[in-house]
Chain A
């Protein structure tokens, strides 16, 4: 297998990290509903929250909805705040109405928000009560928190998947199976499924596309995280006896290869077989990356904290595209899960955990990187200051994992640079 990769994995020397607390310009965990409701096709996400939560969801979901979505908000009103007994009754009614309208729903998530948590509305209890009532009708009811006081953006998916883990069936003693955790675009999931099948590794995915297809878990389960923000899910799987395999995340040619290699090693796949399976897609990924490399090479890039994808993506851009990460900000830095990618970041990268947005923007202005990866609230203002930006949310919403998306991933970073070149004549500097 890939010897240099293994060596790099072993070297996990701690790096200095700038830890900041201040204003955080990030979404809350509710945002995960925007992709999770598409991923689990018979699940409905009912946020118990405020008008703000409803507004966040519709704004993050692309401002407008084209068809009735499988998510909604039960908006807490003045009268609900008066007495708690009332709220539970109201919630039961809302759920009954919702399920009557959507007979196709098999799994209902009650999603906690800041208001529901501050008033101590026990959604776990509510879910258990509703679940008992709905089970005979073939509908499961679970709860998790997507609140902004507890979860940051992608942590919402972590909380959702962690809530699914206790529902997974116990695996029999039929030897090892691989579990790929983290929602991926269907096309990527299918690609990985083919690769694991070719490697002879029996593999399942979490979350499944249908609520009734939860994979089994047990001591024979080996977990490969597909997303870097699944700490709680990993812990819950470990409680069920599973073993989590540390690996770099599957971005680009080398990241994907290293990720697959970790699984291959755990399942005793021979070097020859591994090479036979990955050689062609790896070569495709390398060819696709080579096209973008001239544009990206040597360009300086800073990440503002957003999805926890920052460290693995910085690894990909530095190692495979020749970019120079200046600051890599992430909402949370988990040594355990981010370690393998961290170890492969170049020296001299400024790592920042948490956020004080004003101070961070001061650093961006001082650094003047060629590309800033940031949220939608900051992108246009930074562009107006003459910086080039990439919307971080696109990295979460687009298929970017795996060999066959390596070129697309690089292109997402190349596009703003290309665009700036094409429109150079329109820049205010050009007019003077």
Chain B
């Protein structure tokens, strides 16, 4: 049993819904109680979809349990087929129906529906949303792909690739697909099929006709790509084009596999990030300590952008999806830091509190955490929020995606000269650092402090309280207040650690500056 106040991922059948909803002509019949229908609103509200997800719920009740829930399922499947006339159907169970073991797949098989019916086995008590999406996509591809279809000869046509992994409710998937399609076009490559997003049953059948598969979102498409590799004996591009450097790598890799010259596409790139980052205005970004958390793919990619493209120092890196823990650990090792693989946001909060970064790059939950501990934050990964579906074009992949990332990552920070002025005139009452960056909403930091409930700290967070043995003299406390808020936490911790290590019980102004010189790099 696991205590959760909030979860990064929904149950696996929500992953299956993301695939079904992304596609056209597919209908999903879910054996589930009425309350599970809440999942529809994720799509219609968060993503503002103008159609209901193509899902029929059996909504069995307690009184049905004694009677025949299997019959209820069959009736729902029959009615859904008659009403929606899909080209393929998915059938499965949510957590509750899994327990009553009606076997939707087996029941459907006895009904002789005139369309392919694909059974989904998504164990709800051990698996989660991303895994459910990956398993569903794999099941669809396995069932519907025509293994006899192969690419036509290359003469007289442009090479074509499949873009695999984008779904409904994906973090910027809509715009990533557009951006990567444009990028491939500059390279002289056509997109054959995008799936699941926008794909029909016929599109899935035709996957074999592409020259190459591109795994845009490994969380969703990795297993399907492995299956395609085996079935068609062709490679998958696994470099995810998030960030300027990764996009260059991606272009070279695709070009290499297809025998194309990458130079024109690289030269044609509307890449602003490199110059924006090298321009002197950005000097102040140097060595900013950032904490990165999200799904493994986005977290790893953003950590690279942060270090190699913005000159930040990555002090923490983590993900919530254990399926990609290996990749995340390898990336953390490469950054020389401790990885954090957890789906418990309280652990993430404790790590952020312990590391005292200057910027948090995470999910909407880290945005909340950052607000609570008064740190700037940008959102770089699912789970999605209505804000992650901006009206404007806003990819995170490709060269334009890198430009978007530059803005996204820099925006929450105090601007260059403003930072210096804050440091010099920190006692000016109108220049109070409580106000936070001038380009962000007033009292950005101060306003949320009041909303915190009385919570006893977790053991990890309690560490700081234990250091309370070291007391601050009033003078030192006043001096500490003069340090701008975005580094004050770090200064406090460093000074306390310095004092504790030397058995100093009262921190004076002297101790503060001794510690400063001790820790200055």
A381 contacts B52, CB within 8 Å?
A: yes
In the docked arrangement, what's the CA distance between A93 and B2, Å? 10
CB-contacts of A114-154 with B (<8 A): 114-115, 117-119, 147-150, 152
B1 contacts A377, CB within 8 Å?
A: no
A94 CB–B CB distance under 8 Å: yes
In the docked arrangement, what's the CA distance between A50 and B13, Å? 12
Determine the chain A residues whose CB is within 8 A of the CB of B45 once the complex forms: 376-377, 379-380
Determine the chain A residues whose CB is within 8 A of the CB of B438 once the complex forms: none
Interface window among B56-64, B206-214, B247-255, B282-290? B56-64
Interface string of B463-484 (1 = CB under 8 A from A): 0000000000000000000000
B14 CB–A CB distance under 8 Å: yes
A149 contacts B7, CB within 8 Å?
A: no
Determine the chain B residues whose CB is within 8 A of the CB of A55 once the complex forms: 7, 10-11, 14, 38-39
Known contacts A149-B96, A377-B44; A101/B456 CB under 8 A: yes
A63 contact from B13, B59, B126, B386, Cβ within 8 A = B386
Determine the chain A residues whose CB is within 8 A of the CB of B454 once the complex forms: 104
B126 contact from A77, A118, A149, Cβ within 8 A = A77
A87 CB–B CB distance under 8 Å: yes
Determine the chain B residues whose CB is within 8 A of the CB of A91 once the complex forms: 1
Whole-angstrom distance between the Cβ of A310 and the nearest chain B Cβ: 17
A71 contacts B124, CB within 8 Å?
A: no
B37 contacts A25, CB within 8 Å?
A: yes
In the docked arrangement, what's the CA distance between A152 and B59, Å? 11
Whole-angstrom distance between the Cβ of B23 and the nearest chain A Cβ: 17
Whole-angstrom distance between the Cβ of A319 and the nearest chain B Cβ: 31
In the docked arrangement, what's the CA distance between A81 and B99, Å? 9
In the docked arrangement, what's the CA distance between A138 and B101, Å? 42
B36 contacts A78, CB within 8 Å?
A: no
A118 contacts B368, CB within 8 Å?
A: no
Closest to B5 in A: A72
Determine the chain A residues whose CB is within 8 A of the CB of B52 once the complex forms: 377-378, 381
Whole-angstrom distance between the Cβ of A419 and the nearest chain B Cβ: 15
A60 contact from B4, B36, B38, Cβ within 8 A = B38
B46 CB–A CB distance under 8 Å: yes
B36 contacts A56, CB within 8 Å?
A: yes
A100 contacts B44, CB within 8 Å?
A: no
A114 contact from B33, B57, B123, Cβ within 8 A = B33
B49 contacts A380, CB within 8 Å?
A: yes
Known contacts A60-B38, A114-B35; A66/B2 CB under 8 A: no
B125 contacts A23, CB within 8 Å?
A: no
In the docked arrangement, what's the CA distance between A28 and B364, Å? 26
B3 CB–A CB distance under 8 Å: yes
Known contacts A77-B126, A381-B44; A148/B34 CB under 8 A: yes
B42 CB–A CB distance under 8 Å: yes
B128 CB–A CB distance under 8 Å: yes
A74 CB–B CB distance under 8 Å: yes
In the docked arrangement, what's the CA distance between A46 and B327, Å? 35
In the docked arrangement, what's the CA distance between A80 and B95, Å? 14
In the docked arrangement, what's the CA distance between A119 and B96, Å? 9
Determine the chain A residues whose CB is within 8 A of the CB of B7 once the complex forms: 51, 54-55, 58
B1 contact from A31, A53, A90, A119, Cβ within 8 A = A90
Interface centre among B59, B453, B456 (most CB of A within 10 A): B59
Determine the chain B residues whose CB is within 8 A of the CB of A25 once the complex forms: 34, 37, 40, 57
Determine the chain B residues whose CB is within 8 A of the CB of A52 once the complex forms: 10-11, 13, 36, 94-96, 124
Whole-angstrom distance between the Cβ of A263 and the nearest chain B Cβ: 35
Closest to A100 in B: B456
Determine the chain B residues whose CB is within 8 A of the CB of A81 once the complex forms: 99, 125
A50 contacts B385, CB within 8 Å?
A: no
Whole-angstrom distance between the Cβ of A167 and the nearest chain B Cβ: 25
In the docked arrangement, what's the CA distance between A2 and B68, Å? 51
In the docked arrangement, what's the CA distance between A81 and B100, Å? 13
Interface string of A236-269 (1 = CB under 8 A from B): 0000000000000000000000000000000000
Whole-angstrom distance between the Cβ of B90 and the nearest chain A Cβ: 16
In the docked arrangement, what's the CA distance between A150 and B34, Å? 10
B65 CB–A CB distance under 8 Å: yes
A378 contacts B11, CB within 8 Å?
A: no
A376 contact from B41, B65, B372, B455, Cβ within 8 A = B41
Whole-angstrom distance between the Cβ of B138 and the nearest chain A Cβ: 21
Whole-angstrom distance between the Cβ of B396 and the nearest chain A Cβ: 20
CB-contacts of A306-337 with B (<8 A): none
Whole-angstrom distance between the Cβ of B104 and the nearest chain A Cβ: 15
A23 contacts B59, CB within 8 Å?
A: yes
Known contacts A27-B35, A56-B36; A65/B11 CB under 8 A: no
In the docked arrangement, what's the CA distance between A53 and B1, Å? 14
Whole-angstrom distance between the Cβ of B456 and the nearest chain A Cβ: 6
B430 CB–A CB distance under 8 Å: no
In the docked arrangement, what's the CA distance between A379 and B46, Å? 12
Known contacts A101-B456, A114-B96; A28/B33 CB under 8 A: yes
A347 CB–B CB distance under 8 Å: no
B1 contacts A78, CB within 8 Å?
A: no
Whole-angstrom distance between the Cβ of B321 and the nearest chain A Cβ: 14
A78 contacts B126, CB within 8 Å?
A: yes
Whole-angstrom distance between the Cβ of B8 and the nearest chain A Cβ: 10
A28 contacts B62, CB within 8 Å?
A: no
A97 contacts B95, CB within 8 Å?
A: no
B451 CB–A CB distance under 8 Å: yes
A384 CB–B CB distance under 8 Å: yes
A23 contact from B3, B76, B128, B456, Cβ within 8 A = B76
Whole-angstrom distance between the Cβ of A426 and the nearest chain B Cβ: 13
B431 CB–A CB distance under 8 Å: no
Whole-angstrom distance between the Cβ of B51 and the nearest chain A Cβ: 5
Whole-angstrom distance between the Cβ of B93 and the nearest chain A Cβ: 11
B453 contacts A31, CB within 8 Å?
A: no
CB-contacts of B76-105 with A (<8 A): 76, 79, 83, 94-96, 99-100
Determine the chain B residues whose CB is within 8 A of the CB of A104 once the complex forms: 453-454
Determine the chain B residues whose CB is within 8 A of the CB of A30 once the complex forms: 35
Interface string of B113-126 (1 = CB under 8 A from A): 00000000001111
A94 contact from B1, B13, B34, Cβ within 8 A = B1
In the docked arrangement, what's the CA distance between A1 and B2, Å? 57
Whole-angstrom distance between the Cβ of A397 and the nearest chain B Cβ: 14
Closest to A362 in B: B83
A75 CB–B CB distance under 8 Å: yes
B155 CB–A CB distance under 8 Å: no
Known contacts A58-B6, A72-B3, A149-B33; A67/B453 CB under 8 A: yes
In the docked arrangement, what's the CA distance between A322 and B58, Å? 38
A73 contacts B35, CB within 8 Å?
A: no
Interface centre among A48, A100, A376, A377 (most CB of B within 10 A): A377
Known contacts A59-B38, A59-B41, A77-B2; A23/B57 CB under 8 A: yes
Can you list 6 A-B contacts with CB-CB less than 8 angstroms, sorted by A residue number? A26-B35, A26-B37, A28-B35, A55-B10, A118-B100, A148-B61
- What 19 additional pairs, Cβ within 8 angstroms, besides A73-B3, A94-B3? A23-B56, A23-B57, A25-B34, A27-B35, A27-B38, A28-B33, A29-B35, A51-B7, A51-B10, A52-B124, A63-B46, A63-B385, A67-B453, A73-B5, A80-B1, A103-B456, A114-B33, A118-B96, A381-B44
Q: Give me the 9 closest cross-chain CB pairs, A-B, nearest first.
A: A28-B35, A377-B40, A148-B35, A384-B50, A148-B33, A50-B95, A90-B1, A376-B41, A114-B96
